[in-house]
Structure 1
Amino acid sequence: MPSLDDNHTGARIREQRRLARLTQRQLAARLPYSYSLLNQVECAARPATADFVAAVARVLQIDVTVLTGQPYVTELQRDRLAELVRPIRESLDLYDLGPNPDLTVRSADQLMAGADHLCAEVRATRLRNAARELPGLVAELTHSAWSTPSTEMWQALASTYRTAHDISVKLGYYDLSSVALDRMAWAAERASDACLGAVRQYMRALVYFREGEYGIGQRLIASGHTVVGQAAKTREALAVTGQLHLGGSVIAARADDEAGVGRHITEAHRIAKRIGDASEVHWLSFGPANVALHKMSAAVEMRRYDDALKQARTIRLPSQLATSRRAHFLIDQARTEMETGHTEAALKSLVEARRLAPEQTRYHPAARDTITGLVHLSRRTPDTLSHMAAWAGL
């Protein structure tokens, strides 16, 4: 049987359980999961799914990141990405300092184009490029929004804060992502932009989804609907409303609320049918394809892997779908293939995700856990899987 070192989620669960002075049976008795599964996760014979990790973190009263081990410091340093985080953190602290007289600033049109460009870079999974450019753009936009305030400037600044959140999440810096979302709310309020405010609530909901606090996540989705309800019934507002329903669907799935999943997917489908592909609206990728992807993701979250795999095999991704979303689908597909015994297909899906979005795949918790699971399911580890595990730092 192949082996990994002790730098995996299961080993960290074992360590934290022992620090809490609990036996495996004592911890399992407090979880909605079996003793057998806990035992297999701790020895890395089964991957630690996101919902399992969240449940353990709640019982042990610790942060999820203590168990996931994010960010992956060694790989981040090797990829020279860790050094890009500090300037982002510093740029987020400029928000209330007013204009900077020593700063040379580009024109308003160039700055707004820059904000859109960074959104595009993140969705193309060029995280390094986006992380390198972000701090300077935040500084320029902060100066311009204070010195010549306008709705457009505040909107562009809110967009760059949103990009800071996206980069932070993808690299595992969740504390930084929360700061970025607070800054986004601050700028969206000054822009008097209800749609941006609702997008921010959607992103906050996903933070609590990751932390396993599904009740708060559902309340934030409801709050987002209230906020966007203040906007005119435009295509933009409809797309944001639809995306809120998609966020609500995966939170309901993690909470094992099948009826809630059905309601959210039905509403999102109705909106997508009305407005068609709206990928350009706030870079949300909303449209019929994303509704299908979230329906599959909901099946994965409810551990209905046969149903999820059946859906995956019928999904045809449109050419305009963001690379980040395409890679996420492949990672979900790999998990369903592994769970249903299609290990060779799962490895192929991961290899394709890596080809499309290497930075995103390398740091994606589900991809890393699926790689770990495949290693332990393989009696003889194929060279491709060995290379994949080494590449991910496992």
Structure 2
Amino acid sequence: MDELPIGRRVAYWRGRRKLSQQVFADRLGKSKSWVDKVERGVRRLDKFSVLYEIADVLTIDVQLLLGKDPERRTDALNCIDEVEVEEIRAALERYVSMSKYFHAPVVPPPLPEFRKAVSHAWLTYQYARYGVLTRALPKLLRDAQAADAYYTGDDGQLAASLLGQVYQIASSALRKLGEHELAWLAADRSMAVSVRADDHLLAGVATYRVGNALLALGRARSALEVNVNIANRLAPGGTNGADPDRLSVYGMLLLQGAMAAARLGDSATVKDLIRGAEEAANALGSDQNYYWTSFGPTNLELHRAAAAVELGEGRQAVETHEQRIDKRRFAALLPERRAHHLLDIARGFAQIGDVHSAGEMLVDGDRLAPSEIRCRPIAHEVMSDILRRTRGAPPAPIAELAEHMGVGI
């Protein structure tokens, strides 16, 4: 797009934002005629102050207007590119709740309609359709921020809850795709908003997302502390009930704490936290998706295997996969969970030197949820390791998947 005149680039991004010339002009404080002349190249844009105003309205980096449109990242295979990252970054860096003190808030979508959009985004994530999700996230973030700024009272609490959920969705997707700093920012925002929503369990799930982001950033000690501290506050018992929602959030906080402890090599703490989560899972009785956690007995075993991989105990992870996980219950889990687990087991097989089985796990995961395997940097690392250690030519399905992933043989 860098060969286009700047006016055409303005028109392009205005179209991406689904803004009419009149609405765009109103937000800039200009006339529709002025916008039309800019887009046709009749009027020059030679003031940086105006360019920055346009970029702010379009919620993009000003460099994109100047034709500095980065190439797509080859390692992400079009799962997410730098343009989409910048759009999400711009949406995350907006402070709509502050600007409402100076300007009338933008009228957001009706809350029932927007609630459905957020639920759809959660399912898009849990079905591992990351490319679809990242393209939808900028608008979803802007709509959620507008709702949070616009509604008051009970509607305001619901709007805050929905914004907190959108931040969590963004954090989870960005972490999967290797954008760890942005994942942390989105997760941190979700914690603050959850307080406004007056929902302790939503704040607990936000803490889980923060822990995930911290772990991805290599801050395992902080991830362990934040998850365990909030888990202790939400633990069933005393004035806290033992309803399914609370059991699910509490259990997932313990499991995330176990993953952080495993990264630290603290096997004793891993066992303690998994034992606590196991009690919650048994009390819940079956795998559920309260607060979008997918928590339950089967997901607990998936985390037991994943923690073993983090501890370097690949054989234990494989044994957990083969002996402790009920195949019928596993098949009932959502695609992201299943493919994520198969990626973990691929790592476990690689740790014990069985690169053929490791490759088969990646192929199986790709059949379930291609984006979970093709879009994640960790999966690329595993595939590279498999190819490097395979004697002779790899089996055709593994070679084909490697080609799709862009991993050289």
User: For the superposition of Structure 1 and Structure 2, which TM-score range results when normalised by the shorter chain?
Assistant: 0.7 to 0.9
CA RMSD in angstroms comes to 2.3
Deviations 1:165-220, CA, capped at 9 Å, x for gaps: 11211111112112211221221111111112122222222233233333222211
Structure 2: distance between partners of 1:341 and 1:283: 35
Structure 2: distance between partners of 1:168 and 1:325: 16
Structure 1 counterpart of 2:146:
143
Structure 2: distance between partners of 1:231 and 1:114: 31
2:220 counterpart letter in structure 1: Y
| Larger mean Cα displacement after TM superposition, 318-327 or 90-99 | 90-99
Cα distance change on mapping 1:88 and 1:210 into 2, 3 Å: closer
Of 103, 112, 115, 2:115 maps to 112
- Written as runs of structure 1 = structure 2, the 5 A alignment for 1:28-67 is none
Structure 1 counterpart of 2:388:
376
- Written as runs of structure 1 = structure 2, the 5 A alignment for 1:167-186 is 167-186=173-192
- Does residue 387 in structure 1 map to residue 400 in structure 2? yes
| Larger mean Cα displacement after TM superposition, 233-242 or 81-90 | 81-90
Is the 2:254–2:277 contact (alpha carbons within 8 Å) kept by the matching residues of 1?
yes
Of 322, 331, 337, 2:349 maps to 337
Structure 2 counterpart of 1:125:
128
Cα distance change on mapping 1:355 and 1:81 into 2, 3 Å: farther
Is the 2:108–2:150 contact (alpha carbons within 8 Å) kept by the matching residues of 1?
no
1:206 counterpart letter in structure 2: N
Cα distance change on mapping 1:218 and 1:79 into 2, 3 Å: closer
1:242 counterpart letter in structure 2: G
| Larger mean Cα displacement after TM superposition, 96-105 or 322-331 | 96-105
Structure 1: distance between partners of 2:242 and 2:158: 20
| Larger mean Cα displacement after TM superposition, 334-343 or 184-193 | 334-343
Is the 1:197–1:227 contact (alpha carbons within 8 Å) kept by the matching residues of 2?
no
Structure 2 counterpart of 1:236:
245
Structure 1: distance between partners of 2:313 and 2:355: 17
Deviations 1:67-121, CA, capped at 9 Å, x for gaps: xxxxx92243645644322222222223434558685632111111111111110
Stretches of structure 1 lacking an aligned partner (at least 5 in a row) = 1-71
- Does residue 287 in structure 1 map to residue 280 in structure 2? no
Is the 2:76–2:374 contact (alpha carbons within 8 Å) kept by the matching residues of 1?
no
- Does residue 324 in structure 1 map to residue 330 in structure 2? no
TM-score by length of 1: 0.76
Structure 2 counterpart of 1:64:
none
Identity percentage of aligned residues: 26
Q: What count of residue pairs does the alignment treat as equivalent?
A: 323
Structure 1: distance between partners of 2:261 and 2:232: 19
Structure 2 counterpart of 1:93:
93
Is the 2:125–2:133 contact (alpha carbons within 8 Å) kept by the matching residues of 1?
yes
SS at 1:94 equivalent: coil
Structure 1: distance between partners of 2:258 and 2:108: 42
Structure 2: distance between partners of 1:284 and 1:227: 18
Deviations 1:118-144, CA, capped at 9 Å, x for gaps: 111001011122222222222222222
Is the 1:125–1:324 contact (alpha carbons within 8 Å) kept by the matching residues of 2?
yes
Stretches of structure 2 lacking an aligned partner (at least 5 in a row) = 1-71
Structure 1: distance between partners of 2:192 and 2:287: 26
2:189 counterpart letter in structure 1: R
Cα distance change on mapping 1:277 and 1:94 into 2, 3 Å: farther
TM-score by length of 2: 0.73
- Does residue 260 in structure 1 map to residue 272 in structure 2? no
Structure 2: distance between partners of 1:348 and 1:281: 32
- Does residue 347 in structure 1 map to residue 359 in structure 2? yes
| Larger mean Cα displacement after TM superposition, 158-167 or 254-263 | 254-263
Structure 1: distance between partners of 2:333 and 2:341: 11
Cα distance change on mapping 1:358 and 1:144 into 2, 3 Å: same
Deviations 1:267-288, CA, capped at 9 Å, x for gaps: 1111111112353212111000
Shift of 1:389: 2.7
